[in-house]
Structure 1
Amino acid sequence: MRELDIGEVARRAGLAASALRYYEEKGLVQPIGRRGLRRVYADDVLERLALIALGRAAGLSLDDIAAMLAADGGTRIDRARLAARADELDLAIVQMTAMRDGLRHAAACRASSHLECPRFRALLRGVRPANPPAASR
């Protein structure tokens, strides 16, 4: 097992040292000791950091990720949570694909006004406000 100080881990993982300290605080990573004032990690921390990065890229919270990473370096994968997140991503992909297609159409549409274009109007009918305003009282 090779030892890496916090600066080397940060550089190789593409993270700030403060992020590593925060991950330690959250229980996501554990140093194996200190060399002087610097934290030292086992080189397998890089794989763990890659798992954390993958979870973050998939939209999981650090708490979700922490629940799936055992303190001993193993994993406790919540397969149902991962499947649910994959379903959420599928829906987001469908929505974003429709949005992309609508933007491409609007950019290329030759109608004198987008509101005269049947395809653009159909796109508008499918749009739902993200946060509808509260009703006036």
Structure 2
Amino acid sequence: MVEFLDIAEVARRSGMAASRLRFYEDKGLIASVGRRGLRRLFEAGVLDRLSLIALGQTAGFSLDEIGGMLDGNGQLRLDRGLCAAKADALDTMIRRLSALRDGLRHAAACPAPSHMECPTFRRLLKAAIARGRGPRRRAVGRA
């Protein structure tokens, strides 16, 4: 027998606000199966689907990307190429954040009388400005 949960119970069990559940339904990520009075009803399997959505968002996928990986029958169709690309992007972010963390730790413990006299800190400054450079976009409407 299929268990049905009203929206309040799904919200309680998932930790998500009912407004978020309605938004996900409007986006086609989840589907209610009817109503009990004014409350939407969902099959209990919606909790697994919500967990997949939350996992996808944590990994940095957009709701549209997540929606493309969930079919109408609740089955998961992972885009392996997209997963690999997200993993690569996370690797890049981890490297950048690790370098930033290391620089901050150095700045906190640097024995130089002034950070501007510290060669390591000066290298960090140069690296920061180099990352800020890049192709500039033309302003819209300007030639």
Give the match for residue 20 of structure 1. 21
Give ranges in structure 2 of 5+ residues lacking alignment. 139-143
What code does the residue aligned with 1:114 have? H
Aligned-residue Cα RMSD (Å) equals 1.8
Matches within 5 A, 1:8-47: 8-47=9-48
The superposition leaves residues 64-113 of structure 1 with CA deviations (integer Å, 9 ceiling, x where unpaired) of 00010001111221110111011000000000000011111111112111
Tell me how far apart the structure 2 counterparts of residues 12 and 130 of structure 1 sit (CA, whole Å): 47
Matches within 5 A, 1:1-137: 1-127=2-128, 128-129=131-132
| TM-score normalized by the length of structure 2 | 0.88
| SS of the residue 1:31 aligns to | coil
Matched residues, percent identical? 57
What code does the residue aligned with 1:129 have? G
Q: For residue 130 of structure 1, report the CA deviation from its aligned partner.
A: 7.6
| SS of the residue 2:76 aligns to | coil
| SS of the residue 1:39 aligns to | strand
| SS of the residue 1:27 aligns to | coil
- Identify the range of structure 1 (43-52 vs 122-131) with the bigger mean alpha-carbon deviation: 122-131
| SS of the residue 2:35 aligns to | strand
| TM-score normalized by the length of structure 1 | 0.92
